[in-house]
A = this chain, B = another copy of it.
Amino acid sequence: MTAGMENSNAGAGRTIISIDAMGGDKGPATVVAGIAHSARKNPDIAFILHGPRETLEPLVAKRRHLAGRCEIRHATDIVKMEDKPSHVLRNGRETSMWSALESVRNGEATVCVSCGNTGALMLLSVVRLRKLTGIYRPAIAVLWPSNNPQRFNIMLDGGGDIRADAKDLMQYALMGTSYARNGFGLSRPRVGLLNVGTEEHKGRAELKEAHDLIAANAAHSDFEFVGFVEGRDLPGTVCDVIVTDGFTGNVALKTGEGIAGLISELLREAFRYSPLSRLASVLAYTSLRRLQKRIDPRRANGGVFLGLNGTVVKSHGAADSTGVSAAVKLAFELAQSGFTQKLAARVASATMLDQDGATDNSDNGDTA
């Protein structure tokens, strides 16, 4: 599995992304179509593709943009959506997911992309890649649609860990801003800490503490801290990065998906209601499709595991080839920017800041 590149020249001067070809709802053909699309658009990208060779070879052979830029790494087994993470950890050594992470672990690639089982991917990632020095809890950063110029907001933790104390939340702020800078080019991200609105309730002790800790790190880490925000600000415009624990974040994420789904359903019903409304739906077809793309959770692709030695991009299980290609693009941006190293440096310097109680620090000059 770790035999390097002797069978291909996939890596020649290019940024290599490790791809788990299996485990998505739409199968490996969709994944291969997605990476072929990326290869056509970006000449600086190459792939190590993990899965059963007999399945993948014919798919890759059909795509001429992948010629010489995609090495297949044989893995017989597949992590299924219903597999328990602990089961995969014990028995998953022959899976494409395990193999894909192995390429990051041994340094062949800096980023891994998978459409598979989120829980298994998170657990395998933490165990195989290990946490970055100084990180207490890795987190999943997810995207919300918004009317901010970049058209989305970043929220973390989206469900990596149900617990988070004040220090974890402060680290999430640092990881989130690093991700916003390196993945999306936001120079000075605005960070908010998720809370409830009513005065009386702002008393949750760890949130007050996290508020002060994040505020103390804002200037040094070059982000703007907007303070407490509410659920409605997740898809709002008051900030770019929203920090919360993985329990609250996961509930909010799925609530948003649920409401978007219900509205889509009701919208379809509304347009079926009368002959006039049916005609209207034909006339508005293109506009409505565009709207659907903005709010479709499959498009808000690229949940990213932060805080590990290496970056793992979790594409939505139901991602189509456009979705896979979007995840690959994000993976490429992060790999190019040396994101993991910069994030590690940020966290190390903030941890010091916290321990020393200092309010400034000689900056290491990077843009993590």
Contacts and interface: CB of A to CB of B under 8 A. Distances in A.
Interface string A116-130: 001100010000000
Nearest to A279: B283
Contacts of A250: 196-198, 201, 231
A159 B291 contact: no
B201 A159 contact: yes
A358 interface: no
A252 interface: yes
Q: Is the interface of A mostly helix, strand, loop or mixed?
A: helix
A145 interface: yes
A5 interface: no
Contacts of A162: 196, 201, 203-204
A244 B251 CA distance: 11
Contacts of A294: 266
B262 A263 contact: no
B291 A284 contact: no
Contacts of A290: 270, 273
Contact of A280 (B146, B194, B280): B280
A267 B294 CA distance: 11
Interface string A245-269: 0111011111111111111011101
Contacts of A235: 255, 258-259, 261-262
Contact of A281 (B196, B280, B286): B280
Contact of A254 (B159, B230, B276): B230
B254 A270 contact: no
Contacts of A255: 231-232, 234-235, 252, 255-256, 259
A280 B287 contact: yes
Given A146-B262, A271-B284, A276-B283, A200 B119 contact: yes
Given A201-B246, A247-B204, A259-B260, A277 B287 contact: yes
18 contacts: A118-B198, A119-B199, A159-B197, A162-B196, A196-B246, A197-B250, A197-B254, A231-B252, A231-B258, A234-B255, A235-B261, A236-B262, A252-B255, A255-B259, A263-B263, A266-B295, A277-B286, A283-B283
